[in-house]
A and B are shown apart, each in its own frame.
Chain A
Amino acid sequence: MSSPADTRPDDQPLLRVSSVSKSYGARTGCTDVSFELWPGEVLAVVGESGSGKTTLLNCISSRLLPTSGSVSYRMRDGSWRELYRMSEAERRFLMRTDWGFVHQNPADGLRMTVSAGANVGERLMAIGDRHYGNIRSTAIDWLGRVEIGSDRIDDEPRAFSGGMRQRLQIARNLVTSPRLVFMDEPTGGLDVSVQARLLDLLRGLVADLGLAAIVVTHDLAVARLLSHRMMVMKDGRVIETGLTDRVLDDPREAYTQLLVSSILQV
Chain B
Amino acid sequence: MMATPLVVSEVAKSFVMHLRGGLTLPVVEDVSFALTAGRCAVLGGPSGAGKSSILKMLYGNYGVDSGQIIVQHRGALVDLARAAPRVVLSVRRETIGYVSQFLRTVPRVTALDVVAEPLTAAGVDRDEARERAAALLARLNLPKTLWSLPPATFSGGEQQRINIARGFITRHPILLLDEPTASLDAMNRQVVIDLIAEKKQAGVALLGIFHDQDVREAVADTIVDVTRFAPKRVAA
Contact = CB atoms under 8 A, between A and B. Distances in A.
Nearest to A255: B18
B89 A228 contact: yes
Interface in A247-261: 249-250, 252-254, 257-258, 261
Contacts, number: 73
B97 to A, nearest CB: 15
Contacts of A77: none
Contacts of B89: 228, 243
Interface stretch (A49-57, A108-116, A194-202): A194-202
A87 interface: no
A40 B148 CA distance: 28
B85 A3 contact: no
B3 interface: no
Nearest to B108: A200
Given A5-B74, A257-B19, A252 B63 contact: yes
Contact of B62 (A197, A199, A249, A258): A249
A2 B108 contact: no
A38 interface: yes
Contact of A258 (B19, B70, B85, B87): B19
Interface residues of B, number: 30
A197 B60 contact: no
Interface string A183-198: 0000000000000110
Contacts of A1: 70, 76-79
Interface residues of A, number: 29
A38 B89 CA distance: 12
A246 B61 contact: yes
Nearest to A250: B62
Contact of A5 (B15, B17, B87): B87
Given A246-B62, A249-B62, A250-B61, A200 B76 contact: no
B195 to A, nearest CB: 25
> What does DSSP make chain A's interface, helix, strand, loop or mixed?
helix
Contacts of B107: 196-197, 199-200
B75 interface: yes
Contacts of B61: 243, 245-246, 249-250
Contacts of B171: none
Contact of A243 (B70, B75, B85, B106): B85
Contacts of A249: 56, 61-62
Given A6-B87, A229-B85, A246-B63, A252 B74 contact: no
Contacts of B76: 1-4
Nearest to B120: A207
Given A246-B60, A249-B62, A253-B18, A3 B90 contact: yes
B74 A3 contact: yes
Nearest to B16: A252
Interface of B: 15-19, 56, 60-63, 70, 73-79, 83, 85-90, 106-109, 121
Interface of A: 1-6, 38, 41, 196-197, 199-200, 203, 207, 225, 228-229, 242-243, 245-246, 249-250, 252-254, 257-258, 261
28 contacts: A1-B76, A1-B79, A2-B76, A3-B73, A3-B74, A3-B78, A4-B75, A5-B74, A5-B87, A5-B90, A196-B108, A199-B107, A200-B106, A200-B107, A200-B108, A228-B86, A242-B85, A243-B61, A243-B88, A245-B61, A246-B62, A246-B63, A246-B85, A250-B62, A252-B16, A254-B18, A257-B17, A261-B19
Given A1-B70, A5-B86, A196-B107, 11 more contacts: A2-B76, A3-B73, A4-B74, A5-B74, A41-B86, A197-B108, A228-B86, A229-B86, A243-B85, A246-B61, A254-B18
